[in-house]
């Protein structure tokens, strides 16, 4: 009895161990196989396992079934590997696109470039007549954006060592090592050439020349001057004032229009086209002075020769900012006097200039970072409000357009009368017949001595 129990217990242990081994072996099955739970594959896999541990093997049909199941598992595994590799490759492509897109965005200083595009687009709209060429506007904005991106990229290429020393610029793509300098130079060259070619082909040569000259002035004149002399601020203001001229140089306003002759078909810019560039030039000085005062420690660490570094008290910096804010006051009067805008813009522009001048006075009295930051924020608000008011309140000389229409009609009458006179001179009998009738009126208001031949009434 005892032996019987021992044999039973021994048989139970063997069964348990074999079942645990079988379960363990099942746990080692591929995950894809367990998830799919294909019946014939499980059966075949079990049959093959039992045949390897026992002498009793499955039938031929069962063996074929098991081999077919393994083939399916292997095929499914290879397909999963291919799908996984494809998914991994797609993720790598997406990650790479995001990386380079972020680097190009930072190299181009996209926010600053979009401000340049806004000023160029405003110049285009102001330089157009009552109908704006939307396609030309889009081409001009895209070309301006590309040229500005190229200039900003070259600026960072030349200042990579200086940017590495300043807290606010050390995380840029070049100082941080996220992008190489040859890569950045290639990007800047390709984008700059493409933008200039787009302006030359879709706008005109004047716009392309202004864009290329602004790129050269910013990258090869302003950028080196930042490490040489404080006059770089005023050179940078000239660079910022050119984009509105680029926009007006791209527009195709009628050459005979007296007010909006900012860019005639020949590509010439008149005196009225300098209003927005003048506003940008005077606006940039208090904007840059406030920024230079706020970041003068960083500029000193980077080796830049800013005006605020030679002015420890900040008084001269505040005076320069206030003087240029005062220069902004008469711009509204000039826009109204030249017939560009209505009187409402004159009032709004004056109030806006007085507001930014008030922040400059506050900075002069209390030269702290808080007052400098207040003037900086006021300068950020001034420019979009000024350009919006300039475009909203601009006027069109409808009377002049109607006068042009009348002059065109008079010219047509003059031509008709002259043709009739030539026909009469060729036919003397008709001339005698016409002279027998009294004159009715003259056909034109053209000044003497260009009066046309009189028109006689018919009998």
The pLDDT of residue 64 = 43
Please name the residues in contact with 439: beta carbons below 8 A apart, sequence gap of 6 or more.
454, 455, 456, 457
Q: Which of 81-85, 245-249, 252-256, 349-353 has the lowest mean pLDDT?
A: 252-256
Q: What is the pLDDT of residues 257-302, one digit of tens each?
A: 333 334 333 345 566 778 889 999 999 999 999 999 999 988 999 8
How far apart are the C-alpha atoms of 55 and 132, rounded to whole Å?
92
Compute CA distances 376 → 238, 254, 356, 380, 420, whole Å: 19, 39, 9, 6, 70
**Which residues face 394 on adjacent strands?**
341
Q: Which has more pLDDT, 52 or 129?
A: 129
Task: Name the least confident of 83-87, 91-95, 316-320.
Answer: 83-87
pTM of the model: 0.66
Which of 393-397, 428-432, 450-454 has the least mean pLDDT? 450-454
Q: Tell me, what's the pLDDT at 95?
A: 87
The percentage of the chain sitting over the pLDDT mark of 90, rounded to a whole number, equals: 43
Cis omega (within 30 of 0) for bond into 449: yes
Percentage of the chain beyond pLDDT 70 is: 62
The whole-number pLDDT of residue 375 equals 95
pLDDT tens column, 139-189: 999 999 999 999 999 999 999 999 999 988 999 999 999 999 999 999 999
Identify whether the C-beta of residue 457 lies closer than 8 Å to the C-beta of residue 438: yes
Domains of the chain, CATH where assigned: 86-251 (1.10.357.140), 270-397 (1.20.120.1780)
Nearest residue to 232 via CA among 150, 308, 164: 308
């Amino acid at each position: 009895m005892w032996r019987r129990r021992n044999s039973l217990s021994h048989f139970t242990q063997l069964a348990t161990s074999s079942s645990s081994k079988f379960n363990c072996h099942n746990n080692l099955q591929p995950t894809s196989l367990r998830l799919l739970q294909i019946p014939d594959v499980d059966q075949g896999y079990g049959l093959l396992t039992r045949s390897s541990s026992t002498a009793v093997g499955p039938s031929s049909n069962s063996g074929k079934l098991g081999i077919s199941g393994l083939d399916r598992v292997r095929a499914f595994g290879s397909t999963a590997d291919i799908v996984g590799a494809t998914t991994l490759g797609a993720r790598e492509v997406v990650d790479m696109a995001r990386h380079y897109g972020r680097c190009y965005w930072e190299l181009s200083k996209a926010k600053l470039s979009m401000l340049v595009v806004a000023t160029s687009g405003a110049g285009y709209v102001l330089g157009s007549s009552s109908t704006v060429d939307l396609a030309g506007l889009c081409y001009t904005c895209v070309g301006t954006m590309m040229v500005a991106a190229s200039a900003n990229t070259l600026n960072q290429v030349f200042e990579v060592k200086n940017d590495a020393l300043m807290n606010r610029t050390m995380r840029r793509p070049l100082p941080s090592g996220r992008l190489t300098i040859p890569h950045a130079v290639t990007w800047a060259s390709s984008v700059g050439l493409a933008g200039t070619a787009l302006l030359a082909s879709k706008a005109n040569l004047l716009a392309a020349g202004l864009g290329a000259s602004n790129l050269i002035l910013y990258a090869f004149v302003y950028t080196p001057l930042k490490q040489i002399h404080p006059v770089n601020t005023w050179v940078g203001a000239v660079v910022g004032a050119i984009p509105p001229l680029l926009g007006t140089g791209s527009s195709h306003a009628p050459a005979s229009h007296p007010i909006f002759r900012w860019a005639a078909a020949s590509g010439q810019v008149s005196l009225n086209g300098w209003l927005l560039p003048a506003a940008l030039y005077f606006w940039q000085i208090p904007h840059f002075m406030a920024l230079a005062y706020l970041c003068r420690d960083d500029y000193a660490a980077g080796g830049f020769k800013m005006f605020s570094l030679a002015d420890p008290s900040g008084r001269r910096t505040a005076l320069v900012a206030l003087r240029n804010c005062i220069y902004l006051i008469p711009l509204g009067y000039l826009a109204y006097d030249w017939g560009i805008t209505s009187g409402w813009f004159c009032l709004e522009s004056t109030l806006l200039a007085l507001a930014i001048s008030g922040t400059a006075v506050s900075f002069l009295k209390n030269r702290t970072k808080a007052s400098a930051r207040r003037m900086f924020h006021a300068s950020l608000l001034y420019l979009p409000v000024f350009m919006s008011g300039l475009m909203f309140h601009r006027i069109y000389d409808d009377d002049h357009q109607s006068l042009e229409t009348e002059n065109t009609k008079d010219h047509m009458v003059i031509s008709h009368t002259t043709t009739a006179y030539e026909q009469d001179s060729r036919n003397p009998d008709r001339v005698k017949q016409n002279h027998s009738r009294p004159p009715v009126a003259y056909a034109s208001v053209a000044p003497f001595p260009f009066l046309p031949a009189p028109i006689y009434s018919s009998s």
